[in-house]
Every structure is written in structure tokens, then in C-alpha cells.
A and B are shown apart, each in its own frame.
Chain A
Amino acid sequence: MNKKLSRNGLFIAVALLVLLSACSRQRDTWPGIAGTTNGDTVLISYKRTVISLNAEKDRNWTYRGEDDTDFYAPAVIADGRAYVGDYKGRIHAINLEDGKRIWMYEAERQQFLWFTVGAVDRVIGPIGLGGDMLFFGTEHGVSALNIANDEPELAWEFGTGHSVWAQPVYLNNPELDFPPTLFVTSLDKHLYALNPENGEERWSLDMGGGMPGGITLDIEHRRLYVGTLAGEIIAVSFDGQELANYETEGWVWGNPVLHNGYLYFGDLDGMLYELEVTESGFGEATKRKLSEEPLRATPLVVEDEAGQAVLVIGSDDQLVYAIDLSQPNWISDDDIDVRWKQEANAAAVTELTTVELEGKELVIVGTENKDRLVLALDLNNDGKREWAYKYEK
């Protein structure tokens, strides 16, 4: 009887687990996508691997972390290296050629008996680079590593009231007559300007809403633009003055893209916006419903084979849209003049990049579907799918 009852108990426990896991099912996390500047490689951060693909979808290498840690932050590529953070708060420097680890930084954690205790600081956003310093957001703020001589060392930590999921932006432009500054957006609804040398706060500004997305710099106007979950795009001068704000229909997650004096961005209500940038702040704004589902990612503005600007953006509605910005009235009173839209067969929510393959310009977009994790769409051929990458461990 005891055996039978033990079996019953086990059955109940398993049934509860299954039921709870079914009930608590959440949407999958999307891969982090990054491309090299010369357009020949795509890096995919997904689950326990960072994968390098060439423009033809062949795998160059696969990098695995120390143990069962996950990678979702897009890698940042500089000087033949890829820098990426993981979900255990470690930073990895990977050789772009062969995928070998150059170094790995891990914050010290306390041991208690045979347990490792203390908070794990997940790195969710991309890393920011500035000289010999590397900046990354954590669960409780932002940290800086000194990576001189390939010996990563924690330089400083700055605490915020919530996680930092966006890429910290390092500004150091001698022409600006402005001291080097690190700008950080946090989910605690504040924008911070820090001294990158020691992490001291220069100023902070309450933006009224959390900022999971990053910052767009406008060197010409000496200001930056940020989208918030309060449904606003805000222009802030480099010295911390709010210059203008524009209310959107829904939450703004990605950063706005600055092109030809206009900001382009989407919101989670599926609206696409074109917002004029003026000397005083914002000028005329136009908006149209592009999708019934969220436009989460930052749009990509690229030039087609004729040198015309095309805006590409993915949506939760499983479509990728390309819009011809060179057309007058592309965003007319009635509709949006979509150049092409292509099925992604899964929510297309990642940032976009491009690669070149035999003269073709391929737009790379990630999805939430493991079978079509990354898609390459031909920009100049109505978004025809050139290849789809299926995730393999």
C-alpha cells in the first residue's frame, strides 16, 4: 500500500508541477542579434550559446558559457572581439575569428556551506564601450570594467532603483567641448549622466516612465532622445534639461532612429511615428497604425540599391515591414505606403541588422520561434526570404 500511496503522492506532485508550469507559461525571450560593421557576420545570443553565422548562414563557431547560463543580450563587436553579458552577470570577451574565450569576468559571490548565496546580476542589455572601459547594466544599476591588458577589473558600480536593461551610451567627443559622459537609462524611470572614470553622478532626470530601451544621441543639437513606458519621446540636453516631449499612443520600448532631421520609432500599440526634430525641440509629427500588434524593436534605416532610404521594422504580428522613406507622403493621411511586408511566421521583435551576400543586402531579423530563429530577407527583392536559421544547440 505504501508503495502505491507513494506513487500517488508522486503523481500529485508531478501533476501540480505540470499544471503550474502550463499555467505560468510566458512568452519566449527573443535572441540578441548583432552584425559586424563590414556586413559579413551575424552574432546570435540565444539560450546557452553565442553563435556566429556568415552571410550564407554557415556557422562560423559556437561559444558556450561556463555552465548552464543563458545569453540574450546582443553582443557588441569592436577590435575583432565580441563582448557579451550573460544571465549570471558575467562578461565574456570572445575572439571574433575563432569563437574562443579571451577572458571572462565574474563578480565575486559569497559561499555559505555548499551554497553560493547572494543576488545574481543578470546582464540583459548590450554592453557599452569607451576606451579601456566597458559598461554594462545589471539588476541593480550599472557597472564599469577596466579591461586594459585583457585583465578585466571592476572599476566602479553605480546603483539605480531598478534594473538597467539598455545599453549605456558613452559620449566622448572633443569637438563638443563637453566632458566624457556615460548616459544610462533605467527601469527606475530615471536618466542618469555619470562620470565614466569613477561612476559619480553628474545629473539625473525623472522621465516619468521606465526605459527598457536605449538612448539616441543627436550631436548636432547637443541632446539625446529617449522613449519611455509612460508613452513619451523626450528630448534632453546633454546637461540634463528636458527640452521637449511628445506623447505617443502606447509604450515606447526601442530607441528612436534619427535620420535626415526626423525621428522614427514604433510603439507597443503598433503605431509608427515620424517626428521632426527642430532647434527648439520637436516639430511636426505624423503617426499611422502599421500593425495591430506591438512594434517593440528599434527600426532600421538602410539605403537600398538605388541609394534611397528604407525603414525596416518587425512586429509581433509576425510580419516584417519595409517602408520607402524617400517617397513623398509615405505616411499619408490615409495609410502608410509599405514597400513590402514579409511573413516571419513568428513574432519579429528583435533589433535588426544587415549583411551582404553576393551583392544582395540582407536584412537580418530574429524571431521567437526556434525553428526560424533568424531570418535573412532580401531588401531589394520585396523582402524575399534568403534563408532561415533554425536554432541548434
Chain B
Amino acid sequence: MGIIVDLLSTLLLILYSLLGQNVVLAIVAFTVIVRLSLLPLTIKQQRSMKRMQELSPKLKQLQTKYKDDRETLVQEQMKLYKEHGVNPFAGCLPLLIQLPIFFGLWRAIIATLASSPGQLLELQNHIMLPGLDHLIPLHNTFLWLNLALPDPYFVLPVIVVVTTYLQQRLIMPVRPKTNTPTQPRKPGQRPDASEQAEQMTRQMTTIMPFFLGFLSLSYSSGLSIYFIVSNLIGIMQYAMMGKADFRRLIGKESPKAAAEAAARRSEAEAEDGMPLEAATATATPSASTGRSERQLKPGMVMTTLKNAPPSSTASGNTSSKRSGSTSRSSAAARRSATATRTRSSTKTKRR
């Protein structure tokens, strides 16, 4: 970690020197450079996340299919990953590489702004190039701020919270709105992995803005500027990659994103010959059937689908894609799915 802090502190000092000894400009340039240099990793991470997202319906189906056989489930999951060339840990790896750099950034900014004698004394150990000593200490005043100290008027912490929230909201997918609301689980029943991950992501959307806001209240304003610039760059990156969906800010998904999500779902259903709603064991009180939702006993599989066409859970767009996908499904899968439905139907009728 030490070498990263030294490198970044030296880079920050060089930028400070080049940009007219303006700390704010130096931090902005510094953040841009670091974020751009990490861009390949970010893209890789996003691609990996996207692939995982695409596989999510299939994984759900496997989980349902092998819910009583954990060993086979793991084997099938690994097989699925292999077939699609996905490494489930590939999404974490870029993040792991980025973490020390972000912590290094954090420490470099605090070290370079040196708000106490101890920090200033330590700073000399972080400078890797001769000739930068004369820049120390940095001119740390900007508008009403002493950049080495927290914002006394709480303006920056508020902006940090808002921009972090916006960024999180923009990148987080909206929960697909279907006619099949999630069935309440029985006591002791575990949520599936993807559901858990989604919940965690949503929690992070709430926690992260306040967490960073708290840090902004406690640490130097320079760090707050870094958070804000970093968030704005993040939003811009997503926007430029066509991934920022501003409708998400009001809890809506763009038609394109909704169509893509639905297509993934229908493709997964088609491959298995079984609608996802069935696979995830949620009752489907479709509008067309008018049935109320009810919980199935463990081991039971959905029944009402033969009355509820898949298109009823998605837009018209999705419907057409779904039929296209279905036509590509194998006959064997169809037969298997039909058999399942019949058996399930019988069980439900017995209730």
C-alpha cells in the first residue's frame, strides 16, 4: 500500500505544480487520470456483470431444478458458466485490483493536504521525486474551504451524498415489473442467491451515499472533492457507454432495457421450455386468469401457466421475442416441460 500512496502523492504534487498550484484542479485532474487508467478494468467488470446478469434466469432455473441436490446444482452451475465462457469471479477481480488504488488515492489526498503536524512530517516520506519539496505545504484554501479540514458549512458532504446516490441509482437495474409479484417466503426459507445479491445491491444504494457522506463530514474537504468528481465521472462513463438510464431515478426502466431483460427471461424459458415464473416457484395470478396468488408447498411447481401466456408478464415487444425464442427451443425440452406442467397441474388441483 505504501508504494501506491507514494506514487499517487507524487502524482498529485506534480499535477499541483503543473496546474498553477491549485489544489482543486489538481484533485480533479488526479481523479480523472486515475479513473481513466482504471477504465479497462471497469469495462471488464461491467461486461462480466452483464454476462452474469444474462445467465441469471438460467441460474434461477437450475436452482429450482436442483434445489434438493446441492452437489448437482453446483456442477450444473459450473457447467453453465463453462458453456458460456463466464468466470463467476471475474466481476470481483477488477474490483479487487481497484480497491488498493482507491484506498491509495484516499490516503494520498489526506497525506498531501497534511492537516496536522504529524501528517506534514510524514509527507516528506511520500515524495518520490526530488524538486517537489518546495511545493509543500499546498495552498489549501478554496472559496470558503480549508481543503485539509471538513467543510464547516456541510455543503460538500450533502453534494457527496446526492451524487453517490445518483450514481448508484443510475447503475442499479430496476426490479422488473411483472404480473407475478414475488411470493412471500415461508419462515426459514432462504432467498435465492440472485435475489440476495439484488437486495444487497439495493442496500448498498442506501448505505454508500450516507457512508461517503459521513466520511466527508469527518475528513478533509479535498477528499469530498475527490468523491464528487469520481461520482460525476462514473455517471459520465455510464452515460457514454449507454448504460446510464436516467429513468431509473424515478424508478422506471427504459423500454430498451425492459425489452432486453424480458428477452433474457424468455430466452431462458424457451431453452428450458418452462416459463421463468414457474421456475422461480411464484404463483402467477395473471390478470387473464384472475386468480389470487398463493403460496406453494415445498416441492410443488407452478401450475397456472398454461392459462397464463408468457406474454402476459411482459410488454408486446417481449411477447414477439418470446415466441421467436420458443420456436428455437428443442423438442425434448418442450416435452419435458409439458410433462412437468401436467404433473404440477394435478398436484395443484388436489389442493
Contacts and interface: CB of A to CB of B under 8 A. Distances in A.
A139 to B, nearest CB: 6
B299 interface: no
A23 B106 CA distance: 9
Contacts of B139: 161-162, 188
A229 B199 CA distance: 52
Interface in A204-251: 208-210, 212, 229-231, 250-251
* Interface-central residue, A16, A24, A161, by most chain B CB under 10 Å: A24
B122 interface: yes
A162 B140 contact: yes
B106 A124 contact: no
A253 B121 contact: yes
A20 B149 contact: no
B137 A229 contact: yes
A17 B199 CA distance: 21
A210 B141 CA distance: 15
B243 to A, nearest CB: 23
Contact of B107 (A9, A23, A253): A23
Contact of B146 (A5, A17, A23, A119): A119
A26 B191 contact: no
B118 A19 contact: no
B117 A165 contact: yes
Nearest to B211: A13
A124 B133 contact: no
B152 A120 contact: yes
Contacts of A28: 118
A299 interface: no
Interface centre among B117, B134, B204 (most CB of A within 10 A): B117
A361 to B, nearest CB: 28
A23 B219 CA distance: 13
B119 interface: yes
Interface residues of A, number: 46
Tier of interface size on chain B: 35 or more
B204 A12 contact: yes
A230 B133 contact: yes
A28 B215 CA distance: 20
Given A12-B204, A115-B154, A210-B136, A5 B199 contact: yes
Given A27-B118, A29-B118, A162-B140, A117 B153 contact: yes
A120 B200 contact: no
Contacts of A139: 146, 149
Of A119, A124, A208, A212, most buried by chain B (CB within 10 Å of CB) is: A119
A376 B121 CA distance: 25
Contact of A117 (B111, B124, B152, B207): B152
A119 B141 contact: no
A19 B103 contact: yes
B152 A251 contact: no
B137 A210 contact: yes
Given A1-B199, A27-B118, A139-B146, A231 B204 contact: no
B133 A251 contact: yes
A188 B139 CA distance: 7
A16 B120 contact: no
Contact of A119 (B133, B149, B196, B204): B149
A296 interface: yes
Contacts of B3: none
B185 interface: yes
B108 to A, nearest CB: 11
B97 to A, nearest CB: 16
Contacts of A72: 117
Interface in A26-67: 26-30
Contact of B133 (A26, A187, A229, A296): A229
B137 A26 contact: no
Interface in A334-390: 349
Contacts of A27: 118-119, 121-122
B199 A24 contact: no
A208 B134 contact: yes
Nearest to B153: A117
B196 to A, nearest CB: 7
A253 to B, nearest CB: 7
A20 B215 contact: yes
Nearest to B199: A5
Contacts of A124: 116-117
Interface string B137-157: 101110010100100111000
Contacts of B1: 23
A9 B152 contact: no
Contacts of B200: 5, 8-9, 12
A110 to B, nearest CB: 9
A349 B120 CA distance: 13
A236 to B, nearest CB: 18
Contact of A9 (B111, B117, B124, B207): B207
A16 B107 CA distance: 15
B110 interface: yes
B208 to A, nearest CB: 9
19 contacts: A9-B204, A9-B207, A17-B211, A20-B106, A23-B107, A26-B122, A115-B154, A118-B153, A119-B152, A140-B141, A140-B146, A162-B139, A162-B140, A162-B141, A188-B139, A209-B133, A229-B133, A251-B136, A349-B121
Given A27-B121, A140-B141, 8 more contacts: A26-B119, A28-B118, A29-B116, A29-B117, A72-B117, A208-B134, A230-B134, A253-B121
The 9 A-B residue pairs whose C-beta atoms are closest, nearest first, are A9-B203, A23-B103, A119-B152, A27-B118, A29-B118, A210-B137, A5-B199, A187-B137, A230-B134
Interface of A: 1, 5-6, 8-9, 12-13, 16-17, 19-20, 23-24, 26-30, 72, 115, 117-120, 124, 139-140, 161-162, 165, 187-188, 208-210, 212, 229-231, 250-251, 253, 268, 294, 296, 349
